[in-house]
Structure 1
C-alpha cells in the first residue's frame, strides 16, 4: 500500500458512477417518488 497506489486508486473510484455516494442520492430520489404511487395501488 504505497502512497502512489492510494492517490491513484482514489480518483478512479470517485470518477466511477458506481460509487455509493453518487448512486445513493440519485437512487433515493426516484424510489421516493415511486413509493407513494406504489402504495396507492397496494392500498
Structure 2
C-alpha cells in the first residue's frame, strides 16, 4: 500500500488519482511527521 506524505492538497488528489489508475484502492495517508528531516519547521 502506497504512503502519501504531503501538505499539498492538489498534489494529494493528483497522486491519489494516478495510484487509483494503477489499481490501488487505498493509501496510507500520513498527515505529518514531526521529524525535521521530513517537514520544515518554522
TM-score (ref. length: structure 2): 0.36
Asked which structure has the greater CA Rg, the reply is 1
Of Structure 1 and Structure 2, the greater strand share is in 2
Kindly indicate which of the two structures has a greater share of residues assigned to helix.
1
Bigger RCO (CA 8 Å, 6+ sep): 2
Q: TM-score, normalised by structure 1?
A: 0.35
